[in-house]
Structures are given as structure tokens and as C-alpha cells.
Amino acid sequence: MLAVLAPGQGAQKPGFLSSWLDLPGTDARLRWWSALSGVDLIHLGTQADADEIKDTARTQPLLVAAALIAGEHLPLYDVGLVAGHSVGELGAAALAGVLPAEAAITLAGVRGREMAAACKAEPTGMSAVLGGDEAEVLAAIDELGLYTANRNGAGQIVVAGATDALGKFAAEPPAKTRIVSLSVAGAFHTPYMSPAEQALAAMAGGVTVSDPARILLSNLDGAAVIHGREMLQRLVRQVTAPVRWDLCMRTLRDLGVTGVIELPPAGTLAGLIKRELKAHGVPEIVTLNTPDDLPAARDLIARHGMAPSLEPTPLFHVAVAASAGMFQPAEGLEEGQDVRAGQAIGQIVTRQGNVEVTAHAGGVLTEWLAHHDDPVAPGQPVARIGGQQ
């Protein structure tokens, strides 16, 4: 399986979109998206310096635009999974077919502006915590009234909150840790961003969504989200919720992903994956930074993606697990029986409780792909529903 990943804030580099402007249609599209987002994406992606593109209000729509521009030049119908880190989730949701590109850009503009405004309300910040015992680090964060904003795997936790509390945390760090202050505007992915979440929710209420056309992972818990409306709700909630990229990478591992393409500006997520999955087998990775990298990315998709076929194929829908756990089919439900859209066809038993599996569309339960007490990963197909084309 091949995964396409969209990076988040902090990955941007001056001039990283310059070479993409040479591709037909890119200039016009970025001008249209600039009008929607309220920022000059062409200037920001080509001429702006590092300080200018560090501004949250500008960076967020710029990163989403970059992911969408690059994604337009890939055969996404062969891609099995997409995910994004923080604001990268908006780009991933568009590439999965949940959001129109214009909606993703507009929401990124609102998200960036409102988060930037929330940062100015009171002095807050973020620091990376490297190493140490995880339980001790989390306890120290909680003791000072700070928040865990990101858990990026490979022994890296990002702590956020009031600047005076961050100072105390750095002055007396947990044992065997190194604290690195991050150059950010404020405490992202914490309750300090509540005004931004409320503003984004008000805008998101008018967005038309579709259900994802491929596996789409959520930063909230690394789960595969199968309903478009739920993903939109998660995108809004993620403004104040921590980014669990560690759980997203665990899902990549559990699903046996063998190839990864990181969209521009690429490199950050590739580095995390190499460190986190080195003991389990690192997927083949292409960092897509310029159009010159497109042939390598397309070749990776051809070798690791889902090969298209011209032969007649069954028309069916696949029900997937949203969480990791043990699958239990609904009692009395057998292959060959009719199911309706939204009907519960089973459940995933987890330590946190049972998670219902529902039919995405009505039809005939053609085949169970998982059976009673089979272990399943997020996004793993558990049943095939439908008929012949």
C-alpha cells in the first residue's frame, strides 16, 4: 500500500513553490486560491523570506495550497491512503475527496488568521521535549498546567502553554530530557486556541463534504475516518486537540504501508517515519519538493499503489475498521443478506470501549473480510457490500 502525506506548519522554506509555477495552470490556480484565502500565495511561495512565511495566517493556506498543487500531478486513483500533519490534514482531506480544493484553501485561511489572533490574546509558546521517560514527562507537563500539543513519535513530545510555565519546565526539566524552545507564535493545539476553533466551526458548517475515496487518517487518534462529515468535525476539533502523529505512524505500520510520498515542502514527516519505523522496516520514501521529483513519485505509485484494471470489476463498497482492536460481526448477520446504509454490521472491541462498524452504503453483504475476534488495524477492510457492475 502507498501513502501520500501532507506536512504541517514549520516545514515551509523560502521559495519552495517557485519551480511549481512553471507548470501550466499553476499560476492561475494560485491567484484564485489567493483570493479565497486572503493572502498572496504566489508571493509567499516564491519571494517571501523565512520571517514572512513563519506568520501563521500566511503559512497555513500556503502549505495547503502546496499539497494540492503537487497532488494534482499524481495519479491519486492508485493511492490507498492519505494523511496530513496538523494543517496538512486539510490538504489530505481534499486529496481524499472529502473537501473541494476551494473549501480546503478557504478553511486554511480562516484557521490561520484565527489561530494567529488567538496567539496574541496572551503570552504562550511551545517547546520540544526530547528523550526521557514518557510517563515522567507527561506528569511534569500536567503538574505545571501545560499541555501536550504534539506527540510525534521517536521520543519527541511537544509541550505548550503559558510562557512562564514553559520557563519553569525548562529550568527543571524531567530527567534525561533536552528541552528546545520552538519559534512559534503561541500554544497551538491547546485550549488557548478555543476562539479559533469556534470561528472555524462557524465557517465549516456551510461546507459541503463527501465521504473519502481512500483511507484517510485523523491526527486525533490515528484512526481511519470513513464519513466526510465526521472528518470535517475532527478538522475543527483538531485546532485545540493534540496532534497524535505517533498514532498515525503506528497505523501506517499496522496497515503494512510499503511506499510513502511526502508532499512539498517535504522532509519533516519522512524523517519522523525513518526514525519511528526503523525497527519495523522503513517504507520506500519519495520526498516530493519540485516537479523534477514527480517521475520518482509516479514510479513509486506504480510499484506500490493499486494497479488499475480494464477488466469488468465488481461494484462494491468496503466497510472498514475505524480503530485498532478485535472485530466482532453483528450477531446473526450472514453473507448474502441485505444491509442498509448506516446499519451496524459489527463492532471493534478496544480497551477504551467498543467502536461500531456501519455500512457506508446499502446492498448485499457479499463477503466478510474479517471474522470473529480477528485483530484489525484502523482502515482495514472488514466487509464487502454490493453487487456486480
Please identify every residue annotated as catalytic: 86, 189
The H or E element spanning position 378 is: none
Of 203, 187, 202, give the one whose Cα is nearest residue 240: 187
Q: What are phi and psi of 77, to 5 degrees?
A: -65, -15
* Contact status, residue 103 vs residue 33, Cβ threshold 8 Å: no
65: helix, coil or strand?
Answer: helix
Q: Specify the length of the chain in residues.
A: 389
Write the single-letter amino acid at 232: L
* Contact status, residue 305 vs residue 257, Cβ threshold 8 Å: no
Q: Which residues lie below 8 Å from residue 233, measured CB to CB, with a gap of 6+?
A: 204
Cα–Cα distance between 70 and 64 in angstroms, integer? Answer: 10
- Residue 211 to residues 94, 319, 362, Cα–Cα distance (Å): 11, 12, 15
- Residue 77 to residues 25, 81, 101, 282, 369, Cα–Cα distance (Å): 21, 10, 17, 24, 22
